Every structure is written in C-alpha cells, then in structure tokens.
Amino acid sequence: MNFKLISALAAGLLLTGPAFAATVTVDFDGLNDFDFIGDAYNGGTSTPANSSTTPYAGPNYGISFGPGVIAASNSADFTYYSNAPSAGAVMAAVDAEGAMNVASGFTGQLSFYYSTTENTSVSVYSGLNGTGDLLGTVSLLANATAANGCTEITYCFWTAATFDFAGLAKSIQFGTANLAAFDNVTVNAVPLPAAGWLLLSALGGFGALRRKFAA
C-alpha cells in the first residue's frame, strides 16, 4: 500500500478544504414583527415580543444578534418600510447593544442595504458585541428623506453599502439606535473546519497503519 501517496492526497484535500470564507447573506425574511432576532441564525430561534407568534428558526449560519436587535415586518396595522431588497422583514437596532456576531469570524468585506432618517455609521470589530479592535467604519448618509419620497412610509429608500477591512472581524455594530433599518447583510464567514478535522484524523490513522505494517 502506497502510504506516501495516500498521505499526500489527503493533505492536498485538507489544504483545499474549508479554509476559505463562505459568503453568507442574512435577509431576515420569515421573522415576525418585533422579534428579538437572537439565535434565529445560530441554530436556535428568535424571541417573539408577542406570545401569540411562533419563534422563527432560520438557516444555521453561526450568526447571532445582541439583545438590541429586532425584526420589523409590515402588517395590516402598520407599514414600516417599502422597496426593501427582500420584502419579508428588515432589521433594526433599538439600543447600543445592536450588534451582529459571527463566532467563527468574517473577513475582507461587509455589505448591506440600509435606509436611515439621519446620518449614522456601521462599524466592524475584532471581538463579539462591538468589543476588541475597531477594524473599520462606514458612514451612512440620511436617505430616508422627503426628497426621496419617504413621507408616509419611514424607510422607503434603500442604498447598498460595501466596505473592505483588514483582519478577522467577529461583530458589526449597527450605528445609532432607532435611526435606520438594514437588509441583506452579507459577510464572508469563516467556516468551522469540521471537514479539515476529519482529514487530520484520517492522516493520523494512515500514520498508525503505516507503523503497524512497518513493525
């Protein structure tokens, strides 16, 4: 048995395995109005403000939200937004804890759509919940204005924002509370290297088997 060849192939697969970031977009569709988003994209569920609504469980992206982040969804009683990139729901920060956390980290670039009544900003940090080093900030100009037709509906005009940063980020702080709505937040999330660990285990097994045959 050619153990050198097998080991080389396995090592090659490891190097080309899940070492690259995966693009993930959180669109908030499916969430109920005033849901605390929480762990809805982290293998858990949202926390509805209304006990009569069903908690939402989205795709498990390994992304969680701080207690100051809620969903806004239009209803028969009230329309918060129009013309959003994804119509189901949008996200808003309601206090200083309005952070999105990516436990495994994300790299390179952040993009999203926003609608804001006043100038604000979004910042990226190396730690969870807006802690650690500040890796980058993007300024957002007010666009939910009467000049853009936003008179009866607060968040009617949406702008795409993208900015690059260096380093491994773990959280996004969504500016000043109660000013803006966000949609389609996209990050290059670093995946958990489950497949890589399996390959490393396989290499260890090859080594043990080789020692057995050599004895």
Supply 174's token pair.
Answer: 């969504």
pLDDT in the model for residue 3: 45
Report the alpha-carbon distance of residue 139 to residue 174 in Å, rounded.
11
Q: What is the mean pLDDT of residues 200-213?
A: 47
Report CA Rg, the chain: 22
pLDDT value at 52 more than 90:
no
Supply 33's token pair.
Answer: 């109005």
pLDDT value at 154 more than 70:
yes
Taking a C-beta distance cutoff of 8 angstroms, is the pair 32, 53 a contact? Answer: yes
pLDDT value at 212 more than 80:
no
Angle (nearest 5°) at CA 38 between 34 and 43: 130
Residue with tokens 């977009």: 25
Residue of 93, 186, 166, 170 whose CA lies nearest to 125: 170
Supply 63's token pair.
Answer: 């992304």
Residue 207 makes CB contacts below 8 A (sequence gap 6+) with 7
Residue 142 makes CB contacts below 8 A (sequence gap 6+) with 116, 117, 118, 119
Q: What is the mean pLDDT of residues 96-120?
A: 93
Q: Residue 190: pLDDT band by 50, 70, 90 thresholds?
A: confident
Residue of 46, 41, 91 whose CA lies nearest to 62: 41
pLDDT value at 74 more than 50:
yes
**Predicted TM-score of the model (pTM):** 0.79
pLDDT value at 157 more than 50:
yes
pLDDT in the model for residue 1: 53
pLDDT in the model for residue 87: 84
Specify the 3-state DSSP secondary structure of 177.
Answer: coil
* Percent of all residues in the chain with a pLDDT value above 70, rounded to a whole number: 78
pLDDT in tens, 22-39: 899 999 999 999 999 999
Q: Return the percent helix, strand and coil in the chain, to nearest 5.
A: 20, 35, 45
pLDDT in the model for residue 78: 87
* Percent of all residues in the chain with a pLDDT value above 90, rounded to a whole number: 65
The lowest-confidence range among 70-74, 163-167, 209-213 is 209-213
pLDDT in the model for residue 200: 46
Report the alpha-carbon distance of residue 56 to residue 44 in Å, rounded.
8
pLDDT value at 9 more than 70:
no
Residue of 163, 212, 198, 156 whose CA lies nearest to 181: 156
Residue of 58, 159, 59 whose CA lies nearest to 111: 159
CATH number of 21-191: 2.60.120.260
The domain segmentation of the chain, as residue ranges, is 1-19+193-215, 21-191
